[in-house]
Amino acid sequence: MAFGSSTTSVLQSAAGHECASCTSRYQELKTSLHRDLLSKIDLEKLTTLQDVRARTQVQTVIYELISAANVPLSGAERERVCREVLHEVFGLGPLEPLLQDASITDILVNTHRRVYVERGGLLELTGVVFKDAAHLRHIIDKIVSNVGRRVDESSPMCDARLDDGSRVNVVIPPLALDGPLDVDSPLRPQSDRG
């Protein structure tokens, strides 16, 4: 797996911020690592292990794959990509950090590039992005299949609950006007939406 011969980090740009091509290469790296990881591990055996033990074993494989990829990453970037691939395997991908943030009461996913959160009664645009629309759809399918439901064009709406009790509303095209996913946490104080 080659992402160019540059010795600069996959995430670096001249201004010190993530540039569009750097973000694209980073997404490609994560996708490639995730695909390689799934080809190396036995998912059947993984489900029989305790969560901490399974995560530790998968994390070890991810670090091995990162090293084998020969992609220039700092230590912090290696940790970040490992954490994000773990979120893909064991959680809800890019939504995991938002779900773990106790100050967030609502998550609104409008497109794979536009994710908002409600914090203190105010909506904020986040920097969270999905690789593409198919990645977002995969996370939606993961949520609804976990409760034995499905969502598709013939059944474009679904209500579900996450393991933590958070309520999830999914509305996809042709009904979706402003976004496919809304996650409300009943465990946190909700703002008055009147």
Q: For helices 20-40 and 75-90, what crossing angle results, to 10°? A: 60
Q: Roughly what angle, to the nearest 10 degrees, separates helices 20-40 and 51-69?
A: 120
13, pLDDT greater than 50: no
Q: Of 51, 75, 90, at which residue does a domain stop?
A: 90
Mean pLDDT value of segment 145-156: 89
Higher-confidence position of 190 and 20: 20
The residue range of the domain holding 68 is 20-90
**Least confident range of 12-16, 40-44, 73-77, 177-181:** 12-16
| pLDDT recorded at residue 188 | 46
Higher model confidence: residue 181 or residue 76? 76
Q: Measured between alpha carbons, how far is 126 from 107 in angstroms, rounded to an integer?
A: 10
CATH number for position 125: 3.30.450.90
Mean pLDDT of 165-193: 69
Do 137 and 82 share a structural domain?
no
Residues 103 and 180 in one domain: yes
Interval 21-55: pLDDT, tens: 567 777 788 788 878 777 777 666 665 556 778 88
Q: Do 86 and 99 lie in a common domain?
A: no
pLDDT on residue 128: 93
pLDDT of residue 153: 86
Residue 172 has pLDDT above 60, yes or no: yes
Does 121 lie in the same domain as 77? no
55 and 100 share one domain: no
15 pLDDT higher than 50: no
Residue 5 is assigned to a structural domain of this protein: no
> Are residue 75 and residue 59 in the same domain, yes or no?
yes
Instruction: Domain count for the chain, please give it.
Output: 2
With b for 16 or more beta-carbon neighbours within 10 A and e for fewer, the 102-128 pattern comes to eebbbbbbbebeebbbbeeeeeeebeb
One domain, residues 114 and 176: yes
2 within a domain of the structure (yes/no):
no
Quick one: 52 and 107 in the same domain?
no
- Judge whether 13 lies within some domain: no
127 and 100 co-located in one domain: yes
Q: At which of 90, 120, 146 does a domain end?
A: 90
100 and 86 inside one domain:
no
Q: Would you say residue 14 has pLDDT above 80? A: no
Is the same domain home to 132 and 169? yes
Helix axes 75-90, 51-69, angle to 10 degrees: 130
